[in-house]
């Protein structure tokens, strides 16, 4: 059964999308994080360029229908494995503070 519940469409699949997008945009995540660490309180002003690049990268993935379908397929595969085995796959945490 590939029917999706509300929580799956609005919470679980978007979480996979966020995690994967952060991985795919990791160079921009690192550049923004580094800028913030080096700049301190002035990060709002001085890291604007890095922040914009990061947002553009993430939003590009979030708004891509094929990326959504990839993440949906990944979620359905995980759900099927769980339903078959009863063992929940641990999600990998992205080691970023963004």
Per-residue pLDDT tens over the stretch 10-33: 999 999 999 999 999 999 999 999
Asked if the structure places residue 56 within a domain, the reply is yes
Asked if the structure places residue 36 within a domain, the reply is yes
Asked if the structure places residue 17 within a domain, the reply is yes
Cβ–Cβ < 8 Å for 81, 89? yes
pLDDT band for position 96 (50/70/90)?
A: very low
Joined tokens for residue 10? 């609005």
**Is the entire prediction scored with pTM above 0.85?**
no
Structural domains of the chain, count? 1
Provide the domain limits for residue 66.
6-75
Asked if the structure places residue 93 within a domain, the reply is no
Asked if the structure places residue 64 within a domain, the reply is yes
Q: State the Cα angle at 17 between 22 and 82, rounded to 5°.
A: 120
Asked if the structure places residue 97 within a domain, the reply is no
Asked if the structure places residue 50 within a domain, the reply is yes
Asked if the structure places residue 59 within a domain, the reply is yes
């Amino acid at each position: 059964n590939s029917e999706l519940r509300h929580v799956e469409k609005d919470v679980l699949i978007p979480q996979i999308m966020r995690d994967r997008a952060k991985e795919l945009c990791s160079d921009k995540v690192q550049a923004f994080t580094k800028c913030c660490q080096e700049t301190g309180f002035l990060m709002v002003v001085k890291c604007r360029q890095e922040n914009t690049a990061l947002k553009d990268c993430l939003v590009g993935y979030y708004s891509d229908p094929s990326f959504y379908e990839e993440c949906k397929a990944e979620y359905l595969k995980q759900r099927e494995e769980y339903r078959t085995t009863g063992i929940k796959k641990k999600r990998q945490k992205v080691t970023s503070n963004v």
